[in-house]
Copies of this chain bind each other. A is one copy, B any other.
Amino acid sequence: MTVRVGVIGAGWIGQDHIRRLTDTVAGAEVTAVTDIDSARAAESAARAGARVCADGAGLIAADDVDAVLVTSWGPTHAEHVLNAIAAGKPVFCEKPLATTVEDCLRIIEAESAYGRRLVQVGFMRRYDAGYRQMKQVIDSGRVGEPLVVHCAHRNPTVPESYISEMAALDSAVHEIDVLRWLLDDEIVSTQVVVGRSTSRRFAYLKDPQIMLFETAKGVRIDLEMFVNCQYGYDIQCEIVAEEGLVRLPDPASVAVRTAGRHSTEILQAWVGRFTDAFDTEFREWIASVEAGTEPTGPSAWDGYAATVISNATVEALTSGRIVDTGMKPRPAFYSGGAVAVDVQPAA
């Protein structure tokens, strides 16, 4: 049986996922596409052999749509996800789940009321082979309990539209999700340390930023966010535990020796870095839809957590203070997920 997917939002990432579902992921086809720009919708639909829908609500309701993919503009996510839940259809929502904490909570409430999980949020790092190996090592107990995590997230450059808050909201949100999952722990406070900024940036941007997170279990995380590092796209993660450490590998690359240097190539964009993760993410999602089981990827609760924690990190950046994330305690409905630590309600 082929899973028929309706896609809301045919921008850059939407088109990439349409191509993925059409050409790369077996067992799926895109049957309907909608976009605020109808020409763009028509073009994407034509390439995929799909039809165009006038709007998201119609697409979600359509008989030839088994599952919904939301890749529209962030502020519209909540409405589409809620509609999909109302229709009882599985929905994959690119991050963020919603741009406000309130909308995240509405989704959680709706999904809980529906009684089974329908929502998966698009945090693809959990599907990266390196992170998965890290999780295996941590979960195996080989290195003991995690104590400290060092991360770096570096982009070669960002466009003029990228402002300081986006380091947390758009970029670090990936680390926030994958660290909660790796550590099976919750982030309870956040701090941002800003020093000298690089001269290779637009003047209004604070870059690099050092983010400091603390988890419920007391793990200390430092994350260097540096989005104009010039030299490449570079993701580093090291978990230091009681008996040892585990470190994310660099992508495999041929070594070249010439002119006095031994060197390997560094990727220049996140696309190449996480292509396989995206493929696996969609393959597993399509498999869960086809099987009629709950999705195993990031849940609406994880989407809520990412929004809460990244918003708190923006507040930390703005205020210069250490900010409690103030996450609510996790409802039992989401207890089967990856993060098992319940956080006490914020005072």
Binding site for B on A (CB under 8 A): 22-28, 129-130, 133-134, 137, 142-143, 145, 147-148, 150, 152, 193-200, 208, 210, 212, 214-215, 217-220, 222, 224, 226, 229-232, 234, 240, 242-266, 268, 276, 283
Contacts and interface: CB of A to CB of B under 8 A. Distances in A.
Given A231-B244, A242-B199, A254 B134 contact: yes
Contacts of A217: 196
A234 to B, nearest CB: 7
B261 A263 contact: yes
Given A244-B231, A264-B262, A148 B256 contact: no
Given A137-B256, A147-B196, A231-B260, 8 more contacts: A22-B26, A142-B256, A147-B208, A224-B240, A231-B257, A244-B258, A247-B255, A260-B268
Q: How many copies of this chain does the complex contain?
A: 4
A133 B220 contact: no
Contact of A143 (B147, B258, B260): B258
B258 A243 contact: yes
Nearest to A129: B252
Nearest to A212: B193
A246 to B, nearest CB: 5
B254 A252 contact: no
Contact of A25 (B26, B231, B251, B265): B26
A193 B24 CA distance: 45
A142 B147 CA distance: 33
Given A226-B240, A252-B250, A257-B244, A147 B198 contact: yes
Nearest to A29: B26
A128 to B, nearest CB: 10
Contact of A147 (B26, B130, B195, B219): B195
A22 B152 CA distance: 39
Given A148-B210, A220-B195, A200 B242 contact: yes
Contacts of A148: 195, 208, 210, 224, 226
A129 to B, nearest CB: 7
Contact of A240 (B137, B208, B266): B208
